[in-house]
Structure 1
Amino acid sequence: MRKTSLSQVAKELGVSHAALYKYFANKEDLWTSLAFGWLNKELADVFHFDPRPYDSKVMLLHDWLWTLTESKKKAYDANQKMFKLYTTYIDNNPVVLNKHLHELKEKISELLHYSNDIDLSTVLEAFAVFSAPSFAHTWDSHLQERFEDVWKLMLPGLTRLLGEERG
């Protein structure tokens, strides 16, 4: 990411440098706000996922993870330059990245009524290849097929974890 001053940002936005400081404490605060604004727009379907049609927590999780995957891929395909700009910023800032991961875990927890943080982190880690920006170059026409292959492998454990074993 090239160095950009707040004065340059203000000029591009058509506002004064001082006006930016009215809303942002510093350049880091501005970048964080821009990055999360972009991310929240791109992941709107993920954060507004409707669990009502689901009787099965396992199927809900499947579809939510696929929505996350699809949303990230659509953002990447729509504008790779913006995707790389914002995701590089997020990935290179541990506090910002942890906030994003925490928001994803909170959403899964809310949807599944499940709160074990380690388990939720493990699920996200297992499917990271489908949503982590560093893997974007692998998101090809076989993405859904690869996603389903991983899902099938994980399904027995997820079924047990979410208490949906058939006896």
Structure 2
Amino acid sequence: MLDAETIMLATEDVLRRHGPAKATVVDVARSLGVSHAAVYRHFPSKAALREAVTRRWLHRAYDDLAAIAADTATGPAERLRAWVFALFRAKRDAAARDPEIFATYRVLAAEHSVVAGEHVEALLGQLESIVGTAATARAVFAATAAFHHPAHAQEWSQADRETVLADLCTLLVEGLPAR
């Protein structure tokens, strides 16, 4: 029986083979041995399908961040450092491990899609739980953009990235007011 999960798995495979620019609903349907109308019964458009796949992928790739943010047994400075490094490593590893799905995420981020917006809002919420205010969370997120925004993905494999991030974290932590 055809369900949304089966379609999303097939879509991931099609995206990996063809990339986000060339993958079509017809390709997905063909890989499942069904008509494209059968796919459209579960997802009203190619954009909706692409967003569903990306949303699921983002949840899988970044679930560990929520646990770091929620760990109140660890102080804010240590949590902030751990969270920022975990975000950087998750993005870097996701881009390297699954480049076609990451490319789909990049397209959605560039289009300011609902999924990309939800992802950013979730990350900002986690940061706010660490640093205490929405304004500080936004400032930290902006200051660390080179380590998590998909536009900077080409830089993430540079040898000095973790050293630069460590220096940035030190600057951020020392600049934060005590809570």
Q: TM-score interval w.r.t. the shorter chain?
A: 0.7 to 0.9
Aligned residues: 158
Match of 1:83 among 67, 77, 102: 102
State whether residues 91 and 148 of structure 2, in contact with CA within 8 Å, keep that contact through their aligned partners in structure 1: yes
Shift of the alpha carbon at 1:8?
2.5
Q: Deviations over 1:103-133 (max 9, x none)?
A: 1112223x4383x322211111111111111
Aligned-residue offset at 1:149: 1.1
> Deviations for 1:37-93, whole angstroms, at most 9, x for unmatched residues?
112222122234351541x11211111111111101111221333322332223323
Q: Distance in 2 between matches of 1:113 and 1:126?
A: 14
Matching residue of 1:33: 52
What TM-score comes out, normalization by structure 2 length?
A: 0.77
- Answer yes or no: is 1:156 the counterpart of 2:163: no
Q: Which residue of the partner structure matches residue 159 of structure 2?
A: 141
Instruction: State the match for 1:119 in structure 2.
Output: 136
Question: Which SS does the other structure have where 1:2 is aligned?
Answer: coil
Unpaired runs of at least 5, structure 2: 1-19
Stretches of 4+ aligned residues off by more than 4 angstroms: none
Partner of 1:51: 71
Partner Cα separation in structure 1 for residue 72 and residue 175 of structure 2: 24
Distance 1:123 1:108 in 2: 8
The question of whether the paired residues in 2 share the 8 Å contact of 1:35 and 1:90 is answered with no
- The aligned counterpart of 1:74 is 93
Q: TM-score, normalised by structure 1?
A: 0.81
- Let me know the Cα RMSD of the aligned residues: 2.1
Structure 1 residue runs without a partner (length 5+): none
2:148 matched residue in structure 1? 131
